[in-house]
Amino acid sequence: MKACVVGYGAMGKIISSMLGDELAANVALECKYKALEEVKEDFDVIIDFSNPANLDMILSFVKKTKKPVVFATTGYSDIELEKIQELSKEAPVLRSANFSLGVILLNRLVKEVTPILKDSFDIEVVEAHHNKKVDSPSGTAKMLLKSITDETGYTIQHGRDGYSPRSKNEVGIHSLRGGTIVGEHEVLYCGEDEIISLKHSAHSKKIFAVGAIKAAKWLLDKECGYYDMEDVLFGK
Q: Which residues are catalytic?
A: 129, 133
Q: 220 with 68: CB under 8 angstroms? A: yes
How many helices (H) and strands (E) would you count in the chain? Answer: 7, 11
Sheet bearing 225-227, strands edge to edge: 23-27, 3-6, 45-48, 69-71, 92-95, 225-227
Phi, psi of 27 (to 5 degrees): -125, 115
Q: What angle do CA 13, 19, 25 make, to 5 degrees?
A: 70
**Residue 77 C-beta-side C-alpha neighbours within 13 Å:** 6
> Cα dist. 233→2, 6, 108, 214 in Å?
22, 24, 10, 10
